[in-house]
């Protein structure tokens, strides 16, 4: 059995037309109309394969190919929501490759021993509603459904209302299918595999993530008349926080990364000293103690910057996830299968968050990476070649065949 790479590339291209933006990218923010249209398309493909499709209370969609034997299914999948300037492969590859594996079995008239499921989870990106990996977090029991439905987005909308609006407030109980195992195929979204000229990334862990939103409250005043000694300028402190984050990450070294991705000034006018700045800080590290240290050091530096400018700074935590180790045996299976198929492999951590890190809370879980050209992602120019995609999908197929005792 071989996956049909032409069909898989066609599906990726068809899905990418929904919410298409320049340079081949996609914009399908969670629970937007574009997300709804993308969901409708993938659910149609699932139904065309006669899979048993269920939609749960947070909008996760699970499609099952029944196996010959009873018991929990082996599951694969990812997400189909994207950031506003996303690529066509982030998340989408894992869902459509899973669908391709199932269609390959169907075409060959092969029924797996264990049932095989492919899923997509709601709001993996967290760009509109925090936290990220929300649907899989609720699926794994890490956040209650009522709390999740009450989350407010960056646009002020309530998550549960948007879920109803797009028609994906499903009836099935969240997490009712506890998988026997979970394997996710994903693009690396970084430069390592390309630099190392390696085809398959065998992901051992996902780094810890800390997202905080800071509100800096200064005093708006006239840009022309206010002496520099009398300013309480929230924009200046926001800029200082941005460079503090960069300096902290460089000083800590290792896997430490830090990003200020969102800054909003109020009133955001050319001749008014900003009274308020709202900004986000994304800190990540593979080592929990280092991540905690980075958070503590940043807090101290922000306090000092606020005191110098005599502004007030408050913060709220949007996401705090510790590093997650994947199942050693399943990781070894992915590595062995990839090598048996003749692919070069390397073990590595994931810099990005994934639904797999949530599924690891409830079942043995592993991930398969393929290279990203120039390490680009969360960028419309995100690209992986058909050859790289075929290699990843073949490793996924063979791993799933083994896990479902279909080999």
Minimum distance of Mn ion from residue 352's CB (angstroms): 6
Which option in Mn ion, ligand HGY, none does residue 73 bind, with CB closer than 5 to 8 A by kind? none
Sole window of 124-132, 192-200, 220-228, 300-308 interacting with ligand HGY (rule: CB under 6 A): 124-132
Interface with ligand HGY: number of residues (CB under 6 A)? 6
Residue placing its CB nearer to ligand HGY in the complex, 57 or 353: 353
Sole window of 118-126, 144-152, 269-277, 321-329 interacting with ligand HGY (rule: CB under 6 A): 118-126
Residue placing its CB nearer to ligand HGY in the complex, 282 or 390: 282
Q: Residue 341 class from Cβ within 10 Å (0-12 exposed, 13-18 middle, 19+ buried)?
A: middle
Contacts of 387 (CB under 8 A, 6+ apart): none
Residue placing its CB nearer to ligand HGY in the complex, 124 or 188: 124
Q: Distance between CA atoms of 2 and 275, rounded to whole angstroms?
A: 60
For residue 18, the surrounding DSSP H or E stretch is none
Q: Distance between CA atoms of 140 and 92, rounded to whole angstroms?
A: 21
Q: Distance between CA atoms of 272 and 285, rounded to whole angstroms?
A: 38
- Judged by DSSP in three states, 226 sits in coil
Tokens of 85: 């300037």
Q: How far is the CA of 395 from the CAs of 249, 295, 329, 371, in angstroms?
A: 35, 38, 16, 14
> DSSP label at 270?
T
Minimum distance of ligand HGY from residue 319's CB (angstroms): 8
Residue placing its CB nearer to ligand HGY in the complex, 132 or 382: 132
By the rule CB under 6 A, 382 interacts with ligand HGY: no
Which option in Mn ion, ligand HGY, none does residue 91 bind, with CB closer than 5 to 8 A by kind? Mn ion
By the rule CB under 6 A, 184 interacts with ligand HGY: no
Q: Which of 126, 208, 218, 364 binds ligand HGY (CB under 6 A)?
A: 126
Minimum distance of ligand HGY from residue 125's CB (angstroms): 5
Residues from 74 through 133 that contact Mn ion (CB under 5 A): 90-91
By the rule CB under 6 A, 190 interacts with ligand HGY: no
Cβ atoms 234, 256 nearer than 8 A: no
Q: Distance between CA atoms of 231 and 208, rounded to whole angstroms?
A: 38
Residue placing its CB nearer to ligand HGY in the complex, 45 or 139: 139
- Judged by DSSP in three states, 65 sits in strand
Q: How far is the CA of 39 from the CAs of 22, 62, 274, 354, in angstroms?
A: 21, 12, 40, 19
Which option in Mn ion, ligand HGY, none does residue 132 bind, with CB closer than 5 to 8 A by kind? ligand HGY
Q: Which of 352, 359, 366, 395 binds ligand HGY (CB under 6 A)?
A: 352
Positions touching Mn ion (CB under 5 A) are 90-91
Binding site for ligand HGY (CB under 6 A): 124-126, 132, 352-353
């Amino acid at each position: 059995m071989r996956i049909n790479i032409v069909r898989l590339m066609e599906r990726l291209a068809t899905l990418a037309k929904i919410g298409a933006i320049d340079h081949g990218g996609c914009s399908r923010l969670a629970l937007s109309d574009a997300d709804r249209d993308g969901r409708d398309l993938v659910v149609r493909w699932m139904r065309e394969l006669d899979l048993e499709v269920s939609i749960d209370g947070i909008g996760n969609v699970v499609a099952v190919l029944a196996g010959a034997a009873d018991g929990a299914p082996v599951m694969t999948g990812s997400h189909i929501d994207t950031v506003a300037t996303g690529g066509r492969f982030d998340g989408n590859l894992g869902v459509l490759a899973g669908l391709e594996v199932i269609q390959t079995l169907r075409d060959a008239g092969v029924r797996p021993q264990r049932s095989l499921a492919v899923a997509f989870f709601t709001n993996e990106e967290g760009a509109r509603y925090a936290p990220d990996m929300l649907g899989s977090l609720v699926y794994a029991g890490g956040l209650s459904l009522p709390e999740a439905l009450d989350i407010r987005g960056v646009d002020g909308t309530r998550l549960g209302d948007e879920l109803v609006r797009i028609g994906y407030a499903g009836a099935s109980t969240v997490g009712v299918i506890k998988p026997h195992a979970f394997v996710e195929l994903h693009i690396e979204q970084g430069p390592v595999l390309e630099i190392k000229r390696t085809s398959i990334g065998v992901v051992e862990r996902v780094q810890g993530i800390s997202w905080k939103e800071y509100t800096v409250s200064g005093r708006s005043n006239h840009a022309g008349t206010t002496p520099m000694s009398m300013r309480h300028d929230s924009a200046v402190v926001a800029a200082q926080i941005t460079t503090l984050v960069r300096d902290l990450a460089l000083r800590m070294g290792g896997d430490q990364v830090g990003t200020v991705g969102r800054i909003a000034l109020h009133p955001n006018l050319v001749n008014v000293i900003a009274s308020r700045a709202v900004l986000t800080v994304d800190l990540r590290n593979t080592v929990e103690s280092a991540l905690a240290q980075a958070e503590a050091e940043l807090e101290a530096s922000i306090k000092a910057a606020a005191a110098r400018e005599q502004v007030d700074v408050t913060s709220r935590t949007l996401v705090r996830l510790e590093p997650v180790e994947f199942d050693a045996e399943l990781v070894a299976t992915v590595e062995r299968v990839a090598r048996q198929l003749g692919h070069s492999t390397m073990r590595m951590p994931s810099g990005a968050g994934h639904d797999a890190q949530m599924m690891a809370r409830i079942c043995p879980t592993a991930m398969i990476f393929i290279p990203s050209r120039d390490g680009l992602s969360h960028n419309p120019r995100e690209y992986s070649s058909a050859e790289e995609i075929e290699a990843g999908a073949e490793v996924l197929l063979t791993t799933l065949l083994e896990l479902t005792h279909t080999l």
